């Protein structure tokens, strides 16, 4: 008997709610049980794949078996001032893995873009994921630590972005000082954050005396919830730890199940604030001219 025909892969020009629902559902099935397990919702997919400043959709390849989504891979176009585009996936239905579909999806989006690429976080505990990228010509760019914590009521009071005037200038200054962002990109930071549907001024914590901040994003789906500590911009360890503790109190107030953080820096401030390391991830980049 001859082999079945390979699944058709198509590039989609738009990202509507039905497609986001399919992408989120398949992604959730694929990460369950790994260290990057987290609530994946339509909101998360749309926010992470769509350009915040321009609203441009991703370069998105999908594979279907009849009407059923079997795999997808996407590239979020770089924002003005970003050096690389971000690769998401490939995400392949567990029963269809190790049959070459992931490589086909990856090659489809790589061939469709001209920007330098970097992957999202790839857990080291995901069997074969690192080999998949290295054998495809990608190189390790960075190592990331994943941490989890438990929401804790009664923490120290926090200053939020609701309480401060001149917020855009505050965030831009923090981006230049603590994150090393170039002036033009730093100036667009708050608009980019605000265009993320998960953003709330009540979950952007500030330390005005030092100009520091912590950005937290609440993520929920039908079965799980978390507060993601997305950025901690501060140079003083005491300030960083206080902001992290305040984030845990915020998580309790928002009634989410867990606090999650990912960091490329030393994780000592997180562990000193009661968080525990639950995994490590790598990011990969595709070298060479594109």
Q: pLDDT by residue for the chain (290 residues), tens digit each?
A: 344 556 889 999 888 999 999 999 999 998 887 777 788 888 889 888 998 878 889 999 999 988 899 999 999 999 877 888 999 999 999 888 888 899 999 999 999 999 999 998 898 888 788 899 999 999 999 999 999 999 998 777 889 999 889 999 999 999 999 999 989 889 999 998 998 888 999 999 999 999 999 999 999 988 889 999 999 999 999 999 999 999 999 999 999 999 999 998 899 999 999 999 999 999 999 876 44
Instruction: Give the pLDDT confidence score for residue 101 in this predicted structure.
Output: 93
What is the CATH class of 148-281? alpha beta
Instruction: Give the pLDDT confidence score for residue 288 in this predicted structure.
Output: 61
Domain ranges of the chain: 8-120, 148-281
Contacts of 144 (CB under 8 A, 6+ apart): 121, 262, 263, 264, 280, 281, 282, 283
How far is Cα 238 from Cα 230, in angstroms, rounded to an integer?
19
Instruction: Give the pLDDT confidence score for residue 3 in this predicted structure.
Output: 47
- DSSP code of residue 75: E
Question: The tokens of 81 are what?
Answer: 């001032």
Closest by CA to 91, choosing from 126, 142, 125, is: 126
For residue 119, the SS3 value is: strand
How far is Cα 58 from Cα 124, in angstroms, rounded to an integer?
26
Cα–Cα distances (Å) from 226 to 99, 150, 161, 261, in that order, read: 34, 10, 20, 10
Question: The tokens of 31 are what?
Answer: 């990460």
Identify whether the C-beta of residue 60 lies closer than 8 Å to the C-beta of residue 106.
no
Instruction: Give the pLDDT confidence score for residue 2 in this predicted structure.
Output: 41
Instruction: Give the pLDDT confidence score for residue 57 in this predicted structure.
Output: 92
Identical fold for domains 8-120 and 148-281, yes or no, is: yes
Instruction: Give the pLDDT confidence score for residue 222 in this predicted structure.
Output: 84
For residue 36, the SS3 value is: coil
Instruction: Give the pLDDT confidence score for residue 243 in this predicted structure.
Output: 96
How far is Cα 20 from Cα 18, in angstroms, rounded to an integer?
5
φ, ψ at 219 (rounded to 5°): -125, 135
Q: Give the right CATH number for 8-120 from 3.40.630.30, 3.40.50.1170, 3.40.50.150, 3.40.50.300.
A: 3.40.630.30
Global pTM reads 0.83
How far is Cα 217 from Cα 196, in angstroms, rounded to an integer?
9
């Amino acid at each position: 008997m001859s082999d079945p025909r390979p699944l058709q892969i198509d590039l989609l020009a738009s990202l509507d709610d039905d497609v986001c629902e399919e992408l989120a559902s398949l992604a959730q099935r694929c990460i369950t049980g790994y260290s990057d397990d987290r609530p994946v919702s339509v909101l998360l997919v749309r926010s992470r794949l769509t350009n915040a400043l321009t609203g441009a959709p991703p370069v998105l390849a999908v594979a279907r078996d009849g009407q059923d989504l079997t795999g997808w891979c996407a590239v979020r176009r770089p924002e003005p001032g970003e050096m690389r585009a971000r690769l998401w996936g490939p995400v392949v239905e567990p029963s269809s893995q190790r049959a070459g579909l992931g490589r086909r999806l990856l090659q489809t989006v790589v061939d469709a873009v001209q920007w330098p690429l970097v992957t999202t976080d790839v857990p080291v505990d995901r069997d074969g994921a690192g080999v998949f990228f290295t054998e495809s010509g990608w190189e390790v760019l960075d190592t990331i630590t994943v941490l989890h914590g438990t929401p804790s009521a009664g923490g120290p009071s926090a200053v939020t972005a609701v309480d401060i005037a001149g917020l855009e200038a505050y965030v831009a200054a923090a981006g230049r000082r603590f994150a090393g962002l170039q002036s033009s990109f730093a100036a667009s930071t708050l608009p980019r954050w605000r265009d993320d549907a998960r953003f709330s001024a009540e979950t952007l914590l500030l330390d005005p005396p030092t100009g520091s901040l912590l950005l937290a994003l609440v993520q929920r789906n039908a079965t799980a919830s978390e507060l993601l500590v997305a950025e901690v911009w501060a140079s003083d360890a005491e300030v960083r730890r206080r902001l992290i503790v305040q984030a845990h109190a915020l998580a309790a107030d928002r009634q989410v199940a867990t606090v999650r953080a990912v960091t490329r820096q030393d994780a000592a401030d997180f562990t000193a604030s009661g968080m525990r390391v639950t995994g490590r991830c790598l990011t990969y980049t595709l070298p060479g001219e594109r």
